[in-house]
Structure 1
């Protein structure tokens, strides 16, 4: 069946017959996509997209087929594949950038953790003990007051607050020092 016969099928509303004829071109398009590093699934997607583009163009009144259907579909398939490759490469770069950002954030978190650990170690022994009893052993202020020989649980609570403020100040100072050394 000639290209003109296929065009007539489209014009007469016999799309299914026309598309059946065009599907005969698929093996050649598949070969093209496979030679460009694509898979059979990629070839199928590209061919479908080329047929959709062809059909949209056929529906416009000013479309004229100036080459064979094979040449037209082959050219469209090449462009579709090229666009897919570009978008795939762009997506890979975005994923890589997202991974790099994630790793960078993890490194920053680790550095912050190390700074917090150093700040904790610079606290006095009593503050370290109080914070460990509260956070690690999850003791109540009443029990902490007994262990640390405070007069009341309220004093233990106030001491914990003061220790945290001191640790925060040390941490902020260290963080600013690290940030200014990078500048």
Structure 2
């Protein structure tokens, strides 16, 4: 199924398709949230917010998902949950602890983070197949020794050098994109 099928279903509020999205994706999100200091209700809330955010964004600006819809949704949920864990930053003023939180700012930052992820994935698909393979293993925390076994490289030193060069190339490609400056840290 094309991923815009799911995006259109969210916009049209197609209950049957949305129920299938819940059935296929909510268990993975629950597992992630439970493993990261959350509970079942937190997971359901994050999942609902992610669907709402994706639907609203797609209604405003049609965009393409370069991965599967399920992977995209899971990434949005992970980002929302991580943001949720970080949102109650504490500031000490005159021996009082003040919790800082601004929902509007939080939603804007979540959207920027989502767009950054999309730019990263888009540019990762532009670099050579070899670099993409090496970087995906590196980002998945695969050891250099394991990368040597999987690839044709002769040693861990060569793999380290290749990872460095590929990261540098990916960074250059990302920075050359006109969207980069608008997505930098605020």
Q: Tell me which interval the TM-score lies in, with the shorter structure as reference length.
A: 0.3 to 0.5
Structure ID, larger Rg? 1
Using structure 2 for the length normalisation, give the TM-score. 0.44
Greater fraction of residues in helix = 1
Greater fraction of residues in strand = 2
Using structure 1 for the length normalisation, give the TM-score. 0.44
